[in-house]
């Protein structure tokens, strides 16, 4: 199957607060392997996370690597890592992983990568990822505004969106209250961005149990990997 795939092949990596996922894509972004996953190491320090990625990559054929990282990323260097470990701040993930895998690596914020795999490319599109934390990505006619990180902005009662809607909050207050909060968050983001479409992704999107507005849709979690091919489009 790999020999018939359109080259080059991209190993897409999604680093999350609870799990690390990988998948190999052909040059058109079609999956040619299943999605593989391991638990995120604890503590989630760079060496341990990189070792997990190398383990997932072992035995797979690929020519380049795309990584979605849960924090601000600039030129392959991770600037923040609220849900991982402070050791990531200022870490050159792109260069280090490239050395370990022997392939060129491009790194982007994980919500940005999910958005690249989900958007239609028309008008103002916002992506929110609901998982361990809350990520976000903003696009204008398909062009990314990088490192938005709306989850760390103040939402209500002095808390950020992540403090009110992250996985810890979901486990603490339960699905009903979490869904009530999410409805309020959607209304707030619509007033803030006046988006044409909002995409909701991440592992906890499956917990949504209210009727969404017509310009809001849930996207599969695999979008976080499928967006990896877009990092190599010039």
**Domain-wise residue ranges, the chain:** 2-113+225-232, 120-218
Same fold, 2-113+225-232 and 120-218: yes
Q: Mean of the pLDDT values across residues 91-118?
A: 96
Total residue count of the chain as it appears in this document: 234
pLDDT above 70: percentage of residues in the chain: 98
Tell me which CATH code domain 2-113+225-232 carries: 3.30.420.40
SS3 state of residue 192: helix
pLDDT tens profile 182-224: 999 999 999 999 999 999 999 999 999 999 999 999 998 888 8
Q: Tell me: pLDDT of 178 over 70.
A: yes
Edge-first strand listing for the sheet containing 64-69:
36-39, 19-25, 10-15, 64-69, 105-109
Fold of 120-218: Nucleotidyltransferase; domain 5 (3.30.420)
Q: Tell me: pLDDT of 96 over 80.
A: yes
> Is the distance from CB of 52 to CB of 38 less than 8 angstroms?
yes
Q: Tell me: pLDDT of 234 over 70.
A: no
As given in the structure block, the two tokens for residue 146 are: 């990088």
HEC string of 134-162?
A: EEEEEEECCEEECCCCHHHCEEECCEEHH
Mean pLDDT rounded to a whole number for the chain:
94
SS3 state of residue 102: coil
Q: Mean of the pLDDT values across residues 107-117?
A: 94
pLDDT at residue 32 in the model: 95
CB-neighbour burial class of residue 66 (10 A; exposed 0-12, middle 13-18, buried 19+): buried
Distance of alpha carbon 147 from alpha carbon 109, whole angstroms = 6
> Is the distance from CB of 76 to CB of 106 less than 8 angstroms?
yes
Q: Tell me: pLDDT of 1 over 50.
A: no
First to last CA, the chain: 27
Distance of alpha carbon 107 from alpha carbon 76, whole angstroms = 5
As given in the structure block, the two tokens for residue 58 are: 């072992």
Residue 79 is given by DSSP the state: -
Q: Which residues are within 8 A (CB) of 6 and not within 5 positions of it... i.e. 6 or more apart?
A: 26, 27, 28, 30
SS3 state of residue 95: helix
pLDDT at residue 106 in the model: 97
pLDDT at residue 147 in the model: 87
- For helices 46-57 and 93-101, what crossing angle results, to 10°? 40
Name the pTM for this structure. 0.91
Q: Mean of the pLDDT values across residues 52-81?
A: 96
Beta-bridge partner residues of 154: 160
pLDDT at residue 102 in the model: 98
């Amino acid at each position: 199957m790999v020999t018939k795939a359109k080259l080059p092949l991209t190993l897409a990596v999604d680093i999350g607060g609870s799990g690390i996922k990988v998948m190999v894509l052909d040059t058109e972004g079609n999956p040619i392997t299943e999605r593989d996953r391991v638990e995120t190491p604890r503590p989630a320090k760079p060496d341990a996370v990189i070792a997990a990625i190398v383990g997932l990559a072992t035995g797979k054929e690929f020519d380049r690597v795309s990584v979605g990282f849960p924090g601000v990323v600039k030129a392959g260097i991770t600037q923040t890592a609220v849900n991982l470990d402070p050791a990531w701040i200022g870490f050159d993930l792109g260069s280090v992983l490239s050395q370990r895998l022997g392939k060129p690596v491009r790194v982007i914020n994980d919500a940005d990568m999910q958005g690249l795999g989900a958007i239609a490319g028309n008008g103002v599109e916002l992506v929110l990822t609901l998982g361990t934390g809350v990520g976000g990505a903003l696009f204008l006619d398909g062009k990314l505004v990088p490192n938005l990180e709306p989850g760390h902005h103040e939402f209500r009662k002095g808390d950020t969106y992540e403090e009110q809607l992250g996985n810890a909050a979901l486990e603490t207050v339960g699905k009903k209250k979490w869904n009530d909060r999410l409805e309020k968050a959607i209304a707030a983001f619509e007033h803030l961005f006046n988006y044409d479409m909002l995409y909701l992704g991440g592992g906890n999107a499956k917990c949504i149990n209210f009727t969404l507005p017509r310009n809001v849709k849930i996207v599969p979690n695999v979008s976080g990997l499928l967006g990896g091919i877009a990092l190599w489009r010039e």
